[in-house]
């Protein structure tokens, strides 16, 4: 096969790809979502299932997604169409690309609203509003923000505009340098927060909550949430990593880079948990407080530590940045497809997608105030509001199904010769292990979790 070339360009090096993929993976999922869903699902057992999913499902599927992307070298829709044709398979496989594009739009619509909270908190913290704040005070500042649709809309608009600007210029320019400096800074600030939690929080209690598995606290729905989060936090199952893979130079090792990205992503999530739960317990807060958890706890740390206003402002700034580098990967598949198939330039394509996502974002904004209600029908959605429905539909259902389809395509429908050629691991244990994982472990795990939830089987 002659090597395909992407019309959108290539990453300049292995490091550039690692930075971009880590930028995509590390975001609100690690710092905002991981702590609150861990709190809602009882802690240790949930964390254990999540870690197992990253290891046995996430890493093999990430490798599959990158390899598919690099082989196709186009937007996920066109990549899947090309590869299905090349491997003599049915054209229906391009559905992976279409479903991924829809999932990406739905995710960015709420992701941008939550990222808006982080932007709002940059200014709130800088103004000194949290100095000496009490738990009740922090909670009411948060409630004030989410109950005000106009403020939410304003910050959502700012964040979406930031995302569109980067994507119009091409995800490669600038991203590299920025991630290289800002990601380590975020890491250092998280370490600082963990240090603060050690001195001023109930650290032992926090660690016990995170790392002592109590399986009686874990429901079938909790297992699904843990698995869904493994997909969400690694940016898997909708084509984001596939499109980043399509810009990956041919000589770079897919296995090594995938493992590095997964490790960094997991470390950031665990650090965030270790910073937050000791403070939750020390201040008598509720671990199951929901999406507001970090916005109600971290101000307590910043409000009482030396230099808290500075560190707090910097923290929310870096959180905004981490969300930003994730958001761009959520719309890149759709933008690349528009450029390829509609012949429009990147700026126009990004703007169109940005406007659609911005409009969809209004649903999430309203779900925290004017349209706040809970669905009462049974099943996964019982007790959920509109935002929860979007979150569950995408993270817990669409991403695992997308990942399942990618694993099956790479494991069963691509020839061994193609995947071997792309992974370049030889024919030893590593390649065999990967192939076994995408053929059996990952698909069976996803299917079992779904069947269990649907009540078809009882484990």
Judged by CB under 6 A, the stretch of 22-30, 198-206, 215-223, 349-357 that binds ligand TRP is 22-30
Q: How many CB atoms lie within 10 A of CB 256?
A: 12
**Does residue 406 interact with ligand TRP by CB under 6 A?**
no
Query: Which is closer to ligand TRP, CB of 233 or CB of 351?
Result: 233
Binder of ligand TRP out of 30, 41, 225, 418 (CB under 6 A): 30
Phi first, then psi, for residue 235 (nearest 5°) are: 60, 35
Angle at 436 between CA 442 and CA 21, to 5 degrees: 60
Binder of ligand TRP out of 233, 266, 313, 396 (CB under 6 A): 233
- State the helix-helix crossing angle for 175-200 and 14-25, rounded to 10 degrees: 50
Binder of ligand TRP out of 67, 80, 138, 238 (CB under 6 A): 238
C-alpha 379/C-alpha 114 separation (Å) is 26
Please return the burial class of 217, using the count of CB atoms within 10 Å of its CB with bins 0-12, 13-18 and 19+: middle
Measure Cα distances from 158 to 48, 117, 151, 264 in Å.
Answer: 37, 11, 11, 28
Query: Which is closer to ligand TRP, CB of 232 or CB of 281?
Result: 232
Which letter does DSSP use for residue 379 in this model? S
CB 240 within 8 A of CB 332: yes
x/- string (CB under 6 A) for ligand TRP, residues 82-111? Answer: -------------------------x----
Half-sphere exposure of 38 (CA within 13 A, CB side): 34
Binder of ligand TRP out of 22, 74, 320, 329 (CB under 6 A): 329
Q: What's the min distance (Å) between Cβ of 5 and ligand TRP?
A: 25
Q: What's the min distance (Å) between Cβ of 64 and ligand TRP?
A: 15
C-alpha 242/C-alpha 10 separation (Å) is 13
**Does residue 28 interact with ligand TRP by CB under 6 A?**
yes
Q: What's the min distance (Å) between Cβ of 73 and ligand TRP?
A: 19
Query: Which is closer to ligand TRP, CB of 74 or CB of 233?
Result: 233
Q: What's the min distance (Å) between Cβ of 341 and ligand TRP?
A: 21
Q: How many CB atoms lie within 10 A of CB 136?
A: 10
C-alpha 258/C-alpha 18 separation (Å) is 8
Query: Which is closer to ligand TRP, CB of 328 or CB of 349?
Result: 328
Q: What's the min distance (Å) between Cβ of 86 and ligand TRP?
A: 25
**Does residue 76 interact with ligand TRP by CB under 6 A?**
no
Judged by CB under 6 A, the stretch of 24-32, 167-175, 181-189, 251-259 that binds ligand TRP is 24-32
Query: Which is closer to ligand TRP, CB of 107 or CB of 275?
Result: 107
Query: Which is closer to ligand TRP, CB of 122 or CB of 300?
Result: 122
Query: Which is closer to ligand TRP, CB of 107 or CB of 113?
Result: 107
CB 302 within 8 A of CB 315: yes
Q: How many CB atoms lie within 10 A of CB 456?
A: 10
Q: What's the min distance (Å) between Cβ of 3 and ligand TRP?
A: 27
Binder of ligand TRP out of 79, 109, 235, 418 (CB under 6 A): 235
**Does residue 330 interact with ligand TRP by CB under 6 A?**
yes
Residue 203 neighbours by CB under 8 Å, 6+ apart:
197, 278
C-alpha 125/C-alpha 133 separation (Å) is 11
Residue whose Cβ sits closest to ligand TRP: 29
Judged by CB under 6 A, the stretch of 20-28, 82-90, 191-199, 247-255 that binds ligand TRP is 20-28
Query: Which is closer to ligand TRP, CB of 201 or CB of 332?
Result: 332
Binder of ligand TRP out of 326, 364, 384, 418 (CB under 6 A): 326
CB 249 within 8 A of CB 342: no
Judged by CB under 6 A, the stretch of 198-206, 229-237, 279-287, 307-315 that binds ligand TRP is 229-237
DSSP codes of every residue in 247-292: TS-TTS-HHHHHHHHHHHHHHHHHHHHHHHHHHHHHTT--TT--TT
Residues of the shown chain interacting with ligand TRP in the complex, contacts defined by CB under 6 A: 24-25, 27-30, 107, 232-233, 235, 238, 240, 326, 329-330, 399
């Amino acid at each position: 096969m002659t090597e395909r070339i992407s019309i959108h360009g290539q990453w300049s090096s292995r490091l550039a790809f690692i930075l971009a993929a880590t930028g995509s993976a590390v975001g609100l999922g690690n710092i905002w979502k991981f702590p609150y869903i861990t709190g809602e699902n009882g802690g240790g057992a949930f964390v254990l299932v999540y870690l197992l999913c990253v290891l046995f499902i996430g890493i093999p599927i990430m490798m599959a997604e990158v390899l598919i992307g690099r082989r196709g070298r186009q937007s996920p829709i066109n990549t899947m169409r090309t590869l299905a044709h090349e491997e003599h398979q049915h054209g229906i496989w391009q559905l992976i690309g279409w479903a991924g594009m829809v999932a990406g739009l739905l995710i960015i619509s709420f992701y941008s609203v939550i990222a808006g909270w982080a932007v709002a908190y940059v200014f709130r913290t800088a103004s000194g509003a949290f100095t000496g704040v009490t738990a009740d005070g922090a909670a009411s500042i948060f409630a004030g923000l989410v109950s005000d649709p106009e403020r939410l809309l304003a910050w959502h608009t700012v964040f979406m505009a930031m995302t569109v600007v980067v994507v119009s210029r091409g995800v490669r320019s600038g991203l590299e340098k920025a991630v290289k400096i800002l990601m380590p800074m975020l890491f250092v600030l998280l370490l600082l927060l963990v240090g603060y939690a050690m001195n001023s929080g109930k650290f032992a209690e926090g660690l016990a909550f995170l790392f002592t598995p109590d399986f009686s606290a874990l429901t079938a729905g909790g297992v699904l949430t843990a698995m869904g989060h493994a997909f969400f936090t690694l940016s898997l199952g909708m084509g984001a990593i596939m499109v980043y893979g399509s810009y990956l130079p041919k000589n770079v090792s897919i296995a090594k880079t995938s493992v590095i990205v997964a490790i960094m992503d997991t470390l950031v999530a665990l650090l965030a948990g270790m910073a937050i739960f000791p403070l939750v317990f020390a201040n008598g807060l509720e671990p199951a407080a929901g999406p507001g958890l970090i916005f109600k706890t971290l101000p307590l740390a910043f409000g009482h530590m030396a230099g808290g206003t500075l560190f707090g402002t910097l923290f929310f700034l870096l959180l905004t940045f981490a969300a930003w580098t994730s958001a761009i990967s959520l719309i890149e598949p759709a933008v690349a497809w528009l450029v390829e198939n509609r012949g429009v330039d990147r700026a126009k394509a990004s703007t169109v997608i940005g406007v659609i996502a911005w409009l969809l974002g209004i649903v999430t904004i309203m779900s925290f105030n004017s349209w706040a209600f809970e669905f009462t029908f049974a099943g996964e959605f019982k007790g959920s509001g509109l935002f929860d429905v979007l979150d569950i539909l995408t993270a817990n259902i669409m991403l695992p199904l997308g990942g399942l389809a990618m694993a099956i395509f790479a494991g069963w429908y691509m020839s061994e010769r193609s995947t071997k050629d792309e992974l370049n691991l030889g024919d030893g244990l590593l390649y065999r292990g990967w192939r076994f994982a995408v053929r059996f472990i990952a698909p069976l795990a996803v299917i079992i979790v779904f069947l269990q939830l649907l009540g078809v089987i009882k484990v």
